[in-house]
A and B are shown apart, each in its own frame.
Chain A
Amino acid sequence: MNANQGAFTLGPLEAGPACCVPQPVVQVKNLSLQYDGKMALDNVTLDIYKGCITALIGPSGCGKTSFLSAINRLTDLIPGCGVSGQILVNNRDIHHASSQVQVLRRQIGMVFQKPTPFPLSIRRNIALPLNEHGITQKAEVAAVTEQVLRDVGLWDEVHDRLDVSALSLSGGQQQRLCIARALALKPEILLMDEPCSALDPIASGVVEDLISRLQGRYTIVIVTHNLAQARRIANYAAFFWVREHAGQLVEFGRCQHIFESPSHELTAAYVNGSRG
């Protein structure tokens, strides 16, 4: 099947333009987050740039995942979670009354630490979100399915068994399927919460490779504990640290800057491996 068929425009990834421009897509202003009154994230202000990969680094419990969940309002689902501050996506406040959370989440994809395929067939895993967003024509769904599976390099591995349970795939395959599932909705922004940490080194390498190939097409925010990985694939890095039991943003800048000449001594200590 021709990958360029229909209204779907995403071509083979290798040929895509890689453009990372310092133009904010997501603007986080004074974001604070608390769980049952306990501060988890304290007053974070940060811009995420279009088409770039932004890595969130820092020790465990410093609020990186909370920060990520706040962007697509997944925090709504956590009982007792309170969010204050402002998040603008394409200059629109995501908490504004008129903004629909389903539309927001379609615009912002998310990939979790552990692969989370639904207990359905591979095909249905991708078709379900499409159907829910009004794409129900069989031909179109099939085209998108093939496209995104090719994008994540899964097509050749699974095209002859699309109707088997997604749970039968290996961990790395499952994670790529989850990425494909997110891509199928054509999001602008992809949030990734340590997408490689639950995978073995080889699968992790494949996924990491995939992420770096996605750069430029999507605005990616990735949480990672693997500093080497952050250094390899990210354009920007944001360093979080726990102060007074709440996570704070210590430093943000280009990757090179953060890893080679950080302005803050905490950052320096962390990237050198002496703290954290």
Chain B
Amino acid sequence: MHIDHLLAGILRAGAAVAALVMLLILFFLLYESWPVLTELSVFRFVTDTSWHPLERAYNLMPMLSGTLLASMGALMLAVPLGMASALFIVFFAPTHLATLYGRLIELLAGIPSVVFGFWGLTTLVPLINEWHPPGASLLAGILVLTLMILPMITLTAYTALAAVPEELFRNAAALGLSRWGMISGVALPAARTGITAGIILAAARALGETMAVLMVAGNVVQYPESIFDPIRTLAANIALEMAYAMGDHRAVLFVSGLLLMLLVMALSAVAGLLEKHHHA
């Protein structure tokens, strides 16, 4: 009896520490960004002329727009391709090919972002540069992000589709539905919540990604006029400037970290809710 109590006590302590990490992170982000949040008006982050921290201009909007544009562009490419990949595995491919392709996608899901960034830097950027200088651009960022989130979308969509009961398909086939009729009418609606949750998680990943984008997007703070213009994302900005930032500048970087975290948290909360809703 007492040994169980002892163990429960130890476990409680462990769990408390694990839970405290979250609070600690929040506390330190707030603590470090506090000087700016209290001294500077929040509007400065929207109304300042640009992002020139050494000239005390702290407009985060160009980087926020860069972050959102890169993520949305990546989603626009990765969702159709990822869905097609999942449909291929579940419905179109012969078994051995499906397994092979599934393995390929699983392998890609494990490739670190820095390798994607490296490949983008050495292969994609020079290619785009040939076509439309300077090469390091929103487009390169979008392409690299697409490669990164595509496996994620495929795997979640595959899991959701595989969880649709087999009888539904048999019934659909018995009703004489065409293949696309079956997929669009039965499979996709049945797997909808799972797929959506996967896409939202992929979006969160794209928003928070640092290294790959840092390496290929050019990192110029601006509102891009075309996809060939370079951009800087919030995450890349932190990685780029954190090392030497002092005073307000450092605090603003923590603010952008906070902003990024809230964005990503909101997305994963939506995904979590969807999933819960789905299971209920």
Partner-B contacts on A (CB < 8 A): 100-102
* A-B complex: 3 closest residue pairs judged by Cβ atoms: A100-B1, A102-B1, A101-B1
CB-CB contacts below 8 Å: B1-60 with A: 1
Across the interface, which residues of A come within 8 angstroms of B1, CB to CB? 100-102
- Bound: A101/B2 CA distance, A: 11
Across the interface, which residues of B come within 8 angstroms of A102, CB to CB? 1
Across the interface, which residues of B come within 8 angstroms of A100, CB to CB? 1
Is the contact region of chain A dominated by helix, strand, or loop, or is it mixed?
Answer: helix
- Bound: A100/B1 CA distance, A: 7
Across the interface, which residues of B come within 8 angstroms of A101, CB to CB? 1
Chain B residue nearest to A102 (CB atoms) is B1
Chain A residue nearest to B2 (CB atoms) is A100
Chain B residue nearest to A100 (CB atoms) is B1
3 residue pairs bridging A and B, Cβ less than 8 Å apart: A100-B1, A101-B1, A102-B1
Expressed in whole angstroms, the minimum distance between the Cβ of A73 and any Cβ of chain B is 12
Expressed in whole angstroms, the minimum distance between the Cβ of A103 and any Cβ of chain B is 9
Chain A residue nearest to B1 (CB atoms) is A100
- Bound: A76/B32 CA distance, A: 48
Chain B residue nearest to A101 (CB atoms) is B1
- Bound: A71/B1 CA distance, A: 18
Expressed in whole angstroms, the minimum distance between the Cβ of A156 and any Cβ of chain B is 38
Expressed in whole angstroms, the minimum distance between the Cβ of B2 and any Cβ of chain A is 10
- Bound: A101/B1 CA distance, A: 8
Expressed in whole angstroms, the minimum distance between the Cβ of B5 and any Cβ of chain A is 12
Expressed in whole angstroms, the minimum distance between the Cβ of A149 and any Cβ of chain B is 30
- Bound: A100/B2 CA distance, A: 10
Expressed in whole angstroms, the minimum distance between the Cβ of A130 and any Cβ of chain B is 18
Expressed in whole angstroms, the minimum distance between the Cβ of B70 and any Cβ of chain A is 46
Expressed in whole angstroms, the minimum distance between the Cβ of A140 and any Cβ of chain B is 23
Chain B residue nearest to A103 (CB atoms) is B1
- Bound: A88/B1 CA distance, A: 20
Expressed in whole angstroms, the minimum distance between the Cβ of B146 and any Cβ of chain A is 44
Expressed in whole angstroms, the minimum distance between the Cβ of B203 and any Cβ of chain A is 37
CB-CB contacts below 8 Å: B107-143 with A: none
- Bound: A102/B2 CA distance, A: 11
- Bound: A102/B1 CA distance, A: 7
- Bound: A101/B4 CA distance, A: 12
- Bound: A13/B1 CA distance, A: 34
Chain A residue nearest to B3 (CB atoms) is A102
